[in-house]
A and B are shown apart, each in its own frame.
Chain A
Amino acid sequence: MTAGTLLEVSHASKVFDVSPPWLARTLARQPRLLLHAVHDVSFSIRRGETLGLVGESGCGKSTVARLVIGLYKLSAGTITYEGHKIGALASGRIPRALRRKLQMIFQDPYASLNPRWRVADIVAEPIHAQRLVRGRRAIGARVDALLSQVGLAAADGQKYPHQFSGGQRQRISIARALASEPEFLACDEPTSALDVSVQAQVLNLMRDLQRELGLTYLFISHNLAVVHHVADRVGVMYLGRIVEIADKATLFRHPQHPYTRMLLDAIPDVAMSGESRIPVAGEVPNPLSPPSGCAFHPRCPFANERCRREVPQLGESPDVAALGAHDRVACHAVEERRLGSETRVRESPRKVVSDPT
């Protein structure tokens, strides 16, 4: 653990038992069915930093967020927060004093707010639960301050969630998360349900709050452009494992893992108008029966016998000159230098916003 590390996840795994009911299983003589949603994942987040986790559906990125926040118990591994173990194996509970410091923002602002509660009550709930402020008047003042902090009016507290648009609801979710004065926010696709112009408002707000309050973010998204905008470091997940983790600039300019390269090539970007490219064939395999060896090998153009046999470990790339000391990649081809290390630099800045007159 290096200095400044706030959250450290080491060798975390989460296994879900998705077997059919006992009787059905016994009658059909089927073994238990286990889903390895997260497999041996390690990373650390420094104070004040934003770590982005990207990947396609089913790669385990949301499960990681829930493990970190203590909504799921770990199947193996450890998570430490400021040196304190959280989400430990048997006693999965986070001490109250710590729990206050970790909060979560969910994807769906329609499902994550109680429709029968007024906004002021929703935002005040963590304050009551943690007994942070006492007295009705003091709590009311705190709620008003929180609402104005996220760009809503104090009067909005008397309304119900259905009276707000998606973007405003996400602001309410953020106000609720901030109510317990957290240090760390796990954000699970916080803008995926929003329109782009509203997404811009929420992303700008999250950035302002991070600066004002010194927050640390774990930001989960399937959208690489959004992650590029918010994150300092980026981890790429595939079928439950982190395949590459690096500083943002390194990851986007010099992606190492073939999957990262593929993802970057697949983004439909406004900058590439009219440019055609070769999409990578294949789809994410069923996580119930992941491929042997490197899970990406059936789609990887560089796969060989070793890739089919042996699971690559997250290690330093031999191409250290281009990379930072903390950047890691899990790929035999990179390790054996079988990949061309051509650097791909996307042309920047391209937006020539013209004067409309």
Chain B
Amino acid sequence: MSVRRSPHPDPIPDGQREPSASEAGEGHALLDVRHLRIEFPTRRGVLTAVDDVSFAIGPGEVLGVVGESGAGKSLTGAAIIGLLEPPGRIAAGEILLDGARIDDLPDEAMRRIRGRRIGAIFQDPLAALDPLYSIGSQLVETIRTHLPMSEAAARARAVELLQEVGIPAAARRVDHYPHQFSGGMRQRVVIALALAANPQLIVADEPTTALDVSIQAQIITLLRRLCRDHGTAVMLITHDMGVIAETADRVAVMYAGRIVEIGPVADVVRAPRHPYTIGLMGSIPSVADDRDRLVQIEGSMPRLTAIPSGCPFHPRCNRAFDRCVRERPELLDAGTSLAACWLHSRAAV
């Protein structure tokens, strides 16, 4: 599968639905990702890291993207903000922002969108900030790159932003350097940077993973409040289902470069439909129950060089049957969610 080229985009057979604008809750989608495929050409052939991923995010919506290492969630995020590192490349599909394609834009045009219309928050706040410049000058630079503002007005806006993300004594702190901030405070600065030009969408890749639990709770609450106040949509990429459950409206579960399940977060958490999601939910320890053993999914995620035929989860799935080995499932109706699993094919007929 990984080395062969699959004949995409396919016509969608009856009964199989596109998780696009209609699923995004609102009338139209702010971000529409269609049949995205990301490949890495290597000496031993082309590796497909993200394969036929489609989803949409409505204005002001928080979509959680969850998956284990190597599921392709961060690559999907990087493709959307146009920061896919070569030799990685978008091999098929398209990405639309507000109805217009952004995946084929030249670098210069993409740079104007990034920061202005799509903000980004990364895992490591120290790496996202330049250690040689005060956070004030980094904020002013970002603001003035995207908005027509004087130096003084931009500085006033920078202080305002820092106040908004909860940095105490913002007027004084604005002249401090990144190393003078703690990890949690740095992540607040990064959020301020992402919000500087009032973007429509923020792609947040593991924004709380590097932080302690008490700080993590503060950042999640902050992110949720800011996005509600500004009407900003968020693509929240994380491996932590707990963070998604508390923050997202909908969640997409990724496995081996594909979306295996997508739906409203409460439904996916309480009643997962795909066997992988069921296993994943059962494997998370919780303070709310006293189980003797956690649910165990045998084996591990396949390597990109050896993605199984048909459904990539079938070698680890205890409910797999012959069709799963032969044929790759599309996202099928499974109650309120969509699941890429042949167990739901009856519902679609």
Contact = CB atoms under 8 A, between A and B. Distances in A.
B266 interface: yes
Contact of B214 (A226, A266, A270): A266
A93 interface: no
Contacts of B273: 354, 356
Given A267-B213, A267-B242, A273-B266, A252 B287 contact: yes
Contacts, number: 176
Contacts of B300: 165, 167-168, 197-198
B212 A350 contact: no
Interface string B232-250: 0000000111110110000
Given A225-B287, A348-B288, A350-B289, A56 B214 contact: yes
Contacts of A283: 182, 184-185, 214-215
Contact of B279 (A56, A197, A203): A197
Contact of A266 (B217, B241, B278): B217
Interface residues of B, number: 61
Interface residues of A, number: 56
B172 to A, nearest CB: 18
Contact of A197 (B215, B275, B283, B346): B283
Contacts of B220: 268, 279
Given A196-B283, A280-B217, 4 more contacts: A195-B239, A224-B213, A226-B285, A349-B289
Interface string A262-276: 111111111111111
A204 B288 contact: no
A23 interface: no
A142 B334 CA distance: 50
B288 A347 contact: yes
Interface of B: 68-69, 182, 184-185, 212-218, 220-221, 224, 239-243, 245-246, 265-266, 269-275, 278-298, 300-301, 319, 334, 339, 341, 343-344, 346
Contacts of A167: 300
Contacts of B293: 204, 207
Contacts of A274: 245-246, 265-266
Interface of A: 56-57, 165-168, 195-201, 203-204, 207, 222-226, 228-229, 252, 262-277, 279-281, 283-284, 346-354, 356-357
Nearest to A354: B271
Contact of B286 (A271, A275, A276): A271
B286 A270 contact: yes
